[in-house]
Amino acid sequence: MYGNVILVGAGPGDPGLLTQKGRQALEQAQVVVFDRLVSPAIMALIPPQAELIDVGKESSHHLVPQDQINQILLNKALEGKRVVRLKGGDPFMFGRGGEELELLQEHGIPFQVVPGVTSALSVPAYAGIPVTHRDFCSSLHIVTGHAKAGAELHIDFEALRRTGGTLVFLMGVSALPKICQGLLDAGMEPEMPAAVVERGTLPKQRKVISTLAELPRKAAEEKIKSPAIIIVGKVCQLSDRFDWFDNLPLKGKEVVVTRPADRSGTLSERLRQLGANVTDYPCIRTVPRDPSPELEQAIASLERFSWLVFTSPIGPDIFFGRLNAAGKDARALAGLKLAAIGPKTASALAQYGLKADLVPDTYDSAHLAQAMAQVDGEVLLCRASKGSNALPEIFSKNGIPFSDVPCYDTVYENPDPTPVLELLKEPVLVTFTSASTVRGFVESLHGADISKVLGCCIGDQTAAEAKKYGISVVTAREATIESLMECIKEV
């Protein structure tokens, strides 16, 4: 049985610009053949067991020649694999997608194409340039500025000028002076607005807005490098007015997110939406205890307790998993009052049709402990094996009987520190959502200099832990992700 090949456009860089269909293809891939322009956040969607083949090419020194790429796709499909060929932007827009299909078609390999968001349109959009604004032009022309090594550019500049339309050049950085000169020689006015946009749609996007005559000099001054696109036309003059991307509150800020891999999604995504350059660096992982004799025992004698307390959203999931395994359901909690450390934990309970009787005003253990200082009856705490001491202390002090049941362990992930070590050389924001993320972060770096880290902490206990390591901190007003986001925006 043959496999198949799906050519997938990965979009221009912003991972949010991958299409839904592209994402589905990646999630089901057994082999992914990719190149340089694909962002890490998109690569992270690929299942860990899939084979990754890097055929990344830099202009002028191709890593893997095109016919070899074609052959790899064919061979993997002949092995029966589901192959995704992941390409920057759109696969057919100067992407050699057509060439890659020829060999597959000749061998009767089934293939599909998932178009992508091309840089030719999206990069101007992120630079505030509406490429076909009606007041300025009535056509758009997308041109390659790439010439074979040593060869001259084959561009009909006169024809391009006559269209009066917006011109977009891909792969044109090294030929920028020749392109601009060609247009000037063809009679285009030197004052024609023009732009070059480097690493468009990414947090490190840079743009140079100028005139046709001045653009090469200005781009050279700014040391603009590939990947970048060149835009020539009156529409470029709108770029400052419509500069939404450069004006995002976190544009270009480096943020390291230390949350567990399974829960970092929303925080990282929201930071990216605000323009931050997010490095996902999961430092801890929660591992449910299995078996968990203490929890099983507690579940066998639930009627003993009058309160059941959860200190994180994973707590209810683990508890109800065990309850179910013991052949019981939510009715076993009928006589119990429920406490949740914060709104996320309360909504985890709501998933099981239960309403928390108590959520403290400030979402941390110290405030939860305060709020529970006068409760009657025995308390069952379902939480991490190494939880904060605030709750046990207050219960002991006030003579309230309690069982502190370890439901899960927090283990350090020890991620590869290389990308973070690089970031530590400059001021960098690091989000900490628990004291254990602070410890996991520091441990993973093996004594590297963390003096330029600004810890953005979810609450006081997390901040106290960061300070122990000499990390400067800012603390969210409320212990929620929303509040942490606000705090990061204000930094």
Q: Residue 126 in contact with residue 201, Cβ under 8 Å?
A: yes
Q: Pick the closer one to ligand SAH by CB: 169 or 395.
A: 169
The residues of the shown chain that bind ligand SAH, judged by CB under 6 A, are 12-13, 37, 87-90, 93-95, 118-120, 123, 170-171, 197, 199-202, 226-229
Task: Give the DSSP letter of residue 114.
Answer: E
Q: Pick the closer one to ligand SAH by CB: 39 or 264.
A: 39
Alpha-carbon distance of 406 to 178, in angstroms, equals 68
Q: Give DSSP secondary structure letters for 126-182.
A: HTT--TT-TTT-S-EEEEE----TTPPP---HHHHHHH-SEEEEES-STTHHHHHHH
- Kindly name the residue from 57, 178, 328, 467 that is annotated as catalytic: 57
Alpha-carbon distance of 107 to 78, in angstroms, equals 9
Known active-site residue 468: no
- In whole angstroms, the minimum distance from the beta carbon of 200 to ligand SAH comes to 3
Residue appearing with tokens 């929660």:
286
- In whole angstroms, the minimum distance from the beta carbon of 231 to ligand SAH comes to 10
Alpha-carbon distance of 308 to 305, in angstroms, equals 7
Question: Nearest to residue 86, comparing CAs of 145, 19, 131?
Answer: 19
- Kindly name the residue from 35, 90, 280, 364 that is annotated as catalytic: 35
Angle between the N-to-C axes of helices 314-325 and 293-300, in degrees from 0 to 180, rounded to the nearest 10: 70
- In whole angstroms, the minimum distance from the beta carbon of 41 to ligand SAH comes to 14
Alpha-carbon distance of 455 to 442, in angstroms, equals 12
- In whole angstroms, the minimum distance from the beta carbon of 149 to ligand SAH comes to 15
Task: Give the DSSP letter of residue 252.
Answer: T
Residue appearing with tokens 């893997």:
64
- In whole angstroms, the minimum distance from the beta carbon of 176 to ligand SAH comes to 11
What is the number of H-type helices and E-type strands within the chain? 18, 20
Q: Pick the closer one to ligand SAH by CB: 109 or 121.
A: 121
Alpha-carbon distance of 262 to 260, in angstroms, equals 6
Q: Pick the closer one to ligand SAH by CB: 22 or 200.
A: 200
Question: Nearest to residue 333, comparing CAs of 307, 359, 360?
Answer: 307
Q: Pick the closer one to ligand SAH by CB: 97 or 360.
A: 97
Cis peptide before 291 (omega within 30 of 0): yes
Q: Which residue is nearest to ligand SAH (CB)?
A: 89
Q: Pick the closer one to ligand SAH by CB: 233 or 455.
A: 233
Mode of pairing for the β-strands spanning 4-9 and 51-54:
unpaired
Q: Pick the closer one to ligand SAH by CB: 144 or 403.
A: 144
Known active-site residue 57: yes
- In whole angstroms, the minimum distance from the beta carbon of 111 to ligand SAH comes to 17
- In whole angstroms, the minimum distance from the beta carbon of 419 to ligand SAH comes to 19
Task: Record the tokens describing residue 181, joined without a space.
Answer: 């000169």
Alpha-carbon distance of 101 to 81, in angstroms, equals 16
Catalytic machinery residues? 35, 57
